[in-house]
Amino acid sequence: MREKITHKAAEMFLTLGFKSVTMDDIAHELGISKKTIYVHFKNKIKLVEAVTFEVFESISEGIDGICNTSLNPIEELYDIKMFVMQHLKGEKTSPQYQLKKYYPKIYDVLKFKQFEKMQDCVKKSLQKGIDTGLFRSNIDVEFISRMYFNGMTGIKDERLFPHEMFTINYLMESYLEYHLRAIVTENGIQILNKFITSNQS
* Mean pLDDT confidence for 10-36: 93
**Is 74 part of any domain?**
yes
**Is 94 part of any domain?**
yes
**Is 5 part of any domain?**
no
**Is 14 part of any domain?**
no
**Is 145 part of any domain?**
yes
* Mean pLDDT confidence for 62-91: 83
**Is 148 part of any domain?**
yes
pLDDT at residue 89 is higher than 70: no
Q: Residue 79's domain is classified under what CATH number?
A: 1.10.357.10
User: What rounded mean pLDDT belongs to the chain?
Assistant: 90
CA dist 34 and 129 (Å) reads 51
Q: How far is CA 181 from CA 14, 121, 133, 169, in A?
A: 32, 19, 14, 18
**Is 24 part of any domain?**
no
Per-residue pLDDT tens for 26-75? 999 999 999 999 999 999 999 999 999 999 999 899 999 998 888 899 99
In total, how many domains does the chain have?
1
Please, what sign has the CA dihedral across residues 143, 112, 108, 50?
positive
pLDDT at residue 177 is higher than 60: yes
Query: pTM of the entire structure?
Result: 0.79
* Structural domain containing residue 74: 46-198
Highest averaged pLDDT of the listed ranges 17-21, 59-63, 103-107, 162-166: 103-107
Higher pLDDT pick, 84 / 10: 10
CA dist 107 and 182 (Å) reads 30
**Is 110 part of any domain?**
yes
